[in-house]
Amino acid sequence: MPDPLEGRRDADGRTSPLARVPSDGRAPLDGADGPGRHDWVATGRDEVRAVLADERFSTRPPADTDDDARGLSQPGNPLQCDPPEHTRLRRMLTPEFTLRRARGMEPLIERIVEERLDVMERAGRPADLMRHFAWPVPGLVGCSLLGIPRDDQPDLARNMILSRRPGHPRKLMLAAGNAFDGYLTRFVARKRRDPSAEDLISTLIREHGTEVDDAELVGFCAALLAAGLENMSGTLGLGTLALLRHRDQLDLLRRRPELMDQAVEEILRYATPVPIASPRTALADVPVAGQVVGKGEIVACALAAANGSRAHSAEPQDFDITRENATHVAFGHGVHFCVGAALVRSELRIAFAKLVDRFPGLRLAVPPEELLFVSAPQRGVEALPVTW
């Protein structure tokens, strides 16, 4: 499978930044074919932002009817509902994901990161950074945020991964998915009976108990854990790979640690772990970029392509930690902009800073061409053998 950080194609001058998918179903830009059927692909930064910000596009799973779309939506998942339901959920969640709350979690994140770096060091050289660091860190942070007991976390993470990663037997995937959902259902029921702890789910129940039901809380837990584990692990893996393959940038970061915030934004832009945003279905005829997306038509917004467009700079294919990245769309855009963006930034900043500091001689233990990559639905690396 090709390296998602190599051969990045710039949409500018290659194809329209909003293009209709040909009748044969092939996307007009490599890597922008996304899951399921779609009628249009947006690859330009401005076009992607326009679609994501327009509430005439629904974020519910595509279906033949509105009722079918609602039936396919996961209760409590903000990415699978529209206003006013989305507005209600977002109003409850936003106060729990402020920058101040993210800063308050930093001691916990630091402790988890340091523990996993200890584990990786004890594993000896070479070590798989994905197994020992990139996968466990976001899983442990997400479970701690929700209030899931530490003893329950390994089995929960294992079932989630088995249920979502292609390649496993269907029967095994279904069993793992049922076990994952069953655990979260029991977990939320326990929290409902005793919401006295200082975790996110207990807080939501105490402050909004009559406004949110158990199915929505289960769906929110599942969505947060999945996004945290898959998206964050992909960013940690690909971000580390980008630094190791651009030694000048890694050396610059070591000399100038004050660049870490910019480095995190560049990693998000350059690696963009979610290549395609959840599909948007037009609720009416919507003019976009001089064209009209018809009612019922589906647009795939290629976040990776938009972040690799020349809207950022003359050389978007370069990895440059001094770049200003205020307009990248790795977190989406509009009302569905990632509610946990502040927490993600804190987690990435701490993880990369401590990784670089702990292992000054960190380098790949295998040639880059031997690495195996994941490209859909999230981008990442299967294993990342490193030494130091």
Ordered DSSP codes for 316-347? TTS--TTS--TT--TT--GGGS-TTHHHHHHH
Interatomic CA distance for residues 9 and 30, integer angstroms: 8
8-state DSSP, 97: G
Closest Cα partner for 161 from 74, 230, 238?
A: 230
Rounded percentage of the chain residues whose pLDDT exceeds 90: 78
Of residues 19, 61, 17, 42, the one with CA closest to residue 279? 61
Mean pLDDT, rounded, for 194-199: 96
What does the alpha-carbon distance between residue 132 and residue 142 come to, in Å, rounded to a whole number?
Answer: 16
The domain locations on the chain are 18-359
Binned at pLDDT 50, 70 and 90, residue 309 comes out as confident
Q: Is the pLDDT of residue 371 over 90?
A: yes
Query: Residue 11 has what pLDDT?
Result: 45
What's the pLDDT at 64? 82
| Residue whose C-alpha is closest to residue 133's, from 340, 284, 376, 350 | 350
pLDDT band of 228, cuts 50, 70, 90:
confident
- pLDDT for residue 31 is more than 60: no
When pLDDT is cut at 50, 70 and 90, the band that residue 166 belongs to is low
Q: Which residues, other chains included, contact 78 with Cβ-Cβ below 8 Å and sequence gap of 6+?
A: 86, 89, 90, 93, 220, 223, 336, 339
SS3 385: strand
**149-164: average pLDDT:** 87
Contact 126, 359 (CB under 8 A): no
Dihedral sign from CA coordinates of 39, 45, 46, 50: positive
**Per-residue pLDDT for 6 more than 80?**
no
Fold of 18-359: Cytochrome p450 (1.10.630)
Lowest mean pLDDT among 2-16, 96-110, 202-216: 2-16
CB 344 within 8 A of CB 142: no
Contacting residues for 367 by C-beta, under 8 A, at least 6 apart: none
Mean pLDDT of the chain: 90
Give the mean model confidence (pLDDT) for residues 82-89: 95
Alpha-carbon gap, residue 29 to 304, rounded angstroms: 11
In whole angstroms, what is the distance from residue 129 CA to residue 387 CA?
9
Token readout for 25 is: 């179903």
Long-range contacts of 164-170 (CB under 8 A, 24+ apart): 164/226, 164/230
What tokens were used for 309?
Answer: 């467009």
Query: So what's the pLDDT on residue 69?
Result: 83
The 10s digit of each residue's pLDDT in 336-364 is 999 999 999 999 999 999 999 999 999 99
Contact call for residues 272 and 15 (beta carbons, < 8 A): no
Bridge partners, residue 40, by sequence: 20, 299
pLDDT score recorded for residue 315: 79
- pLDDT over 60 (residue 7): no
What are the C-alpha distances in Å from 136 to residues 9, 64, 141, 161, 361? Answer: 32, 39, 9, 12, 22
Q: Output the pTM of the full model.
A: 0.91
- Smallest Cα–Cα separation from 8: which of 348, 165, 238, 262? 238
> Cβ distance 278 to 79 under 8 Å?
yes
Q: Which of 107-121, 221-235, 302-316 has the highest mean pLDDT?
A: 107-121
